Structure 1
């Protein structure tokens, strides 16, 4: 899967968040480190969401954007 992320540079390094996954953010000393860290954060986020709904009656739908 592909997710858009937003990088913000500061004096302390880089912060990064994924607008499509509310609350999913990370940081790093370098841009590359921040990107690797957000990949891990996205994976952890998706696992937590899956675990919270794995026994629910779920459906997939198509949405035109």
Structure 2
């Protein structure tokens, strides 16, 4: 059984010229991608794209590549000063996303 959670996804912010929002791609699954206005929406859409991609491969008798990194939890735990936590929480709220999503997006941007 192929599970969305087993595959690495890459989340890329889209420029305003490209319509804004976020693009989700699967390095292991050629052509499987999705986008959304928010990171949460893009990930929800990516889950649907993944299921459709896998179903199409099964129907066409195509091989489905195994995840290249195995089952990685994606969990990253760190302690930060309370003042930084408060500022991050406020920024996430301003952008209408969870703190985890906000921090993940900033890490993906290289900030």
TM-score interval, normalised by the smaller of the two chains? 0.7 to 0.9
Greater radius of gyration (CA): 2
Q: Which digits, 9 at most, give the CA deviation of each residue in 1:20-55, with x for residues without a partner? A: 10000110000000000000000000000000018x
Q: Mind listing any 5+ residue stretches in structure 1 that lack a counterpart?
A: 59-65
Q: Mind listing any 5+ residue stretches in structure 2 that lack a counterpart?
A: 64-111
Write out the 4+ residue segments of structure 1 that deviate beyond 2 Å after TM superposition: none
The number of aligned residues is: 55
Structure with more of its chain in helix, by fraction: 2
Q: TM-score under structure 2 normalisation?
A: 0.47
Q: TM-score under structure 1 normalisation?
A: 0.78
